[in-house]
Amino acid sequence: MTSVITIKGGHHVSGDIHVSGSKNAGLALMAASLLASGQSTLEGIPPLSDIGNMGRICQSLGANITRTSDSLQIDTTNLGGRDVPDRLTRSLRASILTLGPLIARFGFAKLCLPGGCLIGTRPIEEHLKGLEKMGARLSVTEGSVEAYAPLGLHGATIQMQTPSVTGTMNLMMAACLASGVTYIYNPAREPEVTDLANCLISMGAVIQGVGADPITIVGCDKPLLPYQYKVMEDRIEAGTFLILGAMAGNPLAVHNCTSKYQTALIEKLRAIGARVDIKENSIIVHKAICPIAVDIQTGPYPAYPTDLQPQFMALLSIAEGKSRITETVFEERFNQSAGLIAMGANICVDGEDAVISGVRGLSGRMVAATDLRAGASLVIAAIAAKGVTVISGTQHIDRGYYGLQSKLEKIGVSVKRSHSFDERPGKIEPRIAVSALCLKA
């Protein structure tokens, strides 16, 4: 028995919607607690399934975790484990973030290669090459990695070939307990990296150059101090709601939303014809009355974020003219196109490019969310579409959007969640896995 979301679309949304704390930053901050001995408190973190999975990983290592309404207490006083159970790492790609803290603090770590959304290959070479530079000996098999540094890690100069977000986070955390100074060149500059660095600094780490190139970390020879820290807003959740506002806002006010994190998105929303008003800690979006086609290309921050590409495709599907999306970050990140095509979109996918020829409107259908952001794309498409849309694969959506149903109901969306007993192939359509797709309804 699985869960489905049913949305009756074709209506405007209006009012206020509030953004939760960042899942991606929160996962890194939970891993950072492993660098300390004592109780850390992480505030503003939503009880998402990915957060729960990271909590179980920390517990398997000996941490004690308790949750209050919107915070986590992570007590690492009795931390002793170094071997993360396979069943836990396979459920969460961010489990790789425990590798750096564990080897830095204990000199050994073993974990299964991580799971999560199946989007391209998402390699971890940047993590492993950097740790080797810092003195770790690695044994990598087809399904797991073991890291050894019995004498501890040492500072190093690390040149990242690609600015991996989790790679930068992992190496930055490991460097905090390495002897000497570590320089990370070509690091990721995403706000979540900055949020992690600010937390590490509050724990006693010495870090300079975050958001620039290189990042410099001066290591120390003892565990860091526990933290009390409030996680940043979830800028991807915020961006999802901003795109929804451009599709159906009358208007929609998105709160706990910092405009500087949304610069690339706001530029495209205005180009497509939406009105965007920026306030101190909120952004108000009015629907684009006659949306016009624009092109986007994803890239590392501050470029347009890959995690908002699927949602923007939903908006482009009803824009007048022909748009092109070029996806440069992840392979195979157009999974949402199959569901959008079923709803009436005209989309041609070939490799890293998708060409969208706008249609007059979308129609409700039965569709399947194949990953987190593809699921979000289908949700906002369903809200703008005429008729009823039934979305399966809701477990993917639950990984990144806390309280989504109640938030949508408050802005006027007719949405309900129910159980489905029949999700056999062919009952939910379409499920397309090909390298080149060029179809229209």
Residues annotated as catalytic (active site), given as ranges: 117
Contact 437, 338 (CB under 8 A): yes
| Residue 71 three-state SS | strand
CA distance 118 to 330: 10
Q: Which two tokens stand for residue 78?
A: 């009795």
CA dihedral of 39, 41, 46, 47, whole degrees rounded to 10? 20
- Tokens 């379409």, residue? 430
Burial letters 388-407, b for 16+ CB under 10 A, else e: bbbbbbbebbbbbbbebeeb
CB 12 within 8 Å of CB 392 = no
d(CA 16, CA 14): 7
Q: Are 291 and 315 in contact (CB under 8 A)?
A: yes
Q: Cβ contacts of residue 435 below 8 Å, gap of 6+?
A: 350, 351
Total Cβ atoms within 10 A of residue 310: 30
Q: 3-state SS string over 190-255?
A: CHHHHHHHHHHHHCCCEEECCCCCCEEEECCCCCECCCEEECCECHHHHHHHHHHHHHHEEEEEEE
Q: Which residues contact 52 (CB under 8 A, 6 or more apart)?
A: none
Nearest Cα to 270, choosing from 246, 238, 239? Answer: 246
Report CA-CA distances (Å) from 411 to 15, 249, 283, 324, 363: 5, 9, 15, 31, 21
| 366-377 CB burial, b ≥16 within 10 A, e <16 | bbbbbbbbbbbb
**Widest distance between CA atoms in the chain:** 65
Q: Which pairing describes strands 228-230 and 39-43: parallel, antiparallel, or unpaired? A: parallel
